[in-house]
Structure 1
Amino acid sequence: MTTVGLPLYLEDRTGLNNNTDYDEIYDRMFLRTSSTPPRPGGGMTTTIYELGRRSSRRSTAYGDPLVVLDFGPNGSLGTILFVQLSMSMPMGHWLRKTAMFSRSLSRKFRASDSQEYRWEFSASPDEEIPEWSCTNASGYRVAQYNLKPPGQPAYRTSGNTLTISEAFSDLAVELLASLTIMRHIHQHNL
């Protein structure tokens, strides 16, 4: 990817956790999450794809997924598969609570660069802190995710944004996978 000195601004087209496009506003990256209908017993699979270009919502040909998130029955955490690495593990082992008695919405993971990153949720929309923020071990904000508040107008955009520091753009798929799991944990009160 060409570096331009700007963070990746990925517009989340729908705001849905499992079925949306993340289109970078400067056309540098296009990601998609897509889910299967729930299986009997309640499990569901979400896949993450990197698209070579902005796609239409009618398009169904995505190529091979980069990550497969296989959630268990009743919204429980299941397994994550990194397809290119042929590496699978339980979501709870990859994305761990930051401390034994910490909030469930503060979790850390080790990325492919061997560094540790932490996602945290901020419930107060009045604060300057983003709804979701991801920091590295030095406390540097690597990524943040914000949903447009209900009732706030959006002008030619959805208003939902995943912002990733350009220095960490190589981790975009891992950041999206971990954010998708974090939002799932929040949605299902895990």
Structure 2
Amino acid sequence: MPFTFEDRTGQLKGSDYDDIYDRMFIRVTPYPHACSNATLAIYVMGRRSTRHADMRHLERHPSVVLEFGGPSLGLGTIHFLKPPAANVSIPMNNYLRKTALFGGSLSRKFRASDGREYRWLHKTIDDHEWSCLSEENYIIAHYDLRPPNVPAYGVSGNTLTIYEAYSHLCIDIFASLTIMRHISENAL
């Protein structure tokens, strides 16, 4: 059964992602120990947030810190703070590389913690906003935004689906997707 995370806000700079079967809860939020609001942290939470101003992440250590660079909000550095790649910092341009020399910036590949390479594509497969493919071209994850003309009844309608065989890559997928969304949002 795939992990299906509801993205509560659909906003890049602050949202809770709750698996609909209550197996995992992720928070992406501005890092409280950074000098600027351009640094995001990814936290694995122990349970679902019950209110908007839930501050439990302040009691935890983030799994990943994404430090976007300078006033232009360009790509900066990704810091992996928890195993299996604990205490590793990589420039985002090296971590998430374009798939072709002269290709667009919305098609990029990354090497995950399992040592394999995966790539993100924007709006190219099955009407998904973002699709993540394996080296064999299998979809391993996809991110979908609720279309504006579809009503939402008690849920946001924004989802990240990670197929079960790749659930061990949840943090890699969240980190790389957050960077890809940042690239898209800031036209980098």
Structure-1-length-normalised TM-score: 0.90
Q: Tell me if the contact between 1:145 and 1:162 (Cα under 8 Å) persists in the aligned partners.
A: yes
Say which SS state the counterpart of residue 27 (structure 1) adopts.
coil
Does the 8 A contact of 1:43 with 1:72 survive in 2?
Answer: no
TM-score by length of 2: 0.91
Q: Which 5+ residue runs of structure 1 have no aligned equivalent?
A: 1-5
> 1:12 aligned to 7, 16, 31, which one?
7
| Separation (CA, whole Å) in 1 of partners of 2:37 and 2:46 | 29
Q: What residue in structure 2 maps to residue 94 of structure 1? A: 95
- 1:45 maps to 2:30: no
2:141 partner amino acid:
A
SS in 2 for 1:55: coil
1:69 aligns with 2:66: yes
In the TM superposition, residue 141 of structure 1 has moved relative to its aligned partner by 0.3
User: Which runs of no fewer than 5 residues in structure 2 stay unpaired?
Assistant: none
Corresponding position of 2:28:
33
- Over the matched positions of the two proteins, sequence identity in percent amounts to 51
Counterpart residue number, 2:185: 187
CA drift at 1:58: 2.2
Give the 3-state SS of the residue equivalent to 2:75 in structure 1: coil
Q: How does 1:1-190 map to 2 (within 5 A)?
A: 6-36=1-31, 44-56=38-50, 57-62=52-57, 63-73=60-70, 74-84=72-82, 85-122=86-123, 128-190=126-188
Q: Number of residues paired by the alignment?
A: 180
Cα distance in structure 1, aligned partners of 2:97 and 2:37 = 21
Runs of 4+ aligned residues of structure 1 deviating over 3 Å after TM superposition are: none
User: Which string of whole-angstrom CA distances, capped at 9 and with x for unpartnered residues, describes residues 71-103 of structure 1?
Assistant: 012110000000021000100100000010111
Q: Secondary structure at the match of 1:175?
A: helix
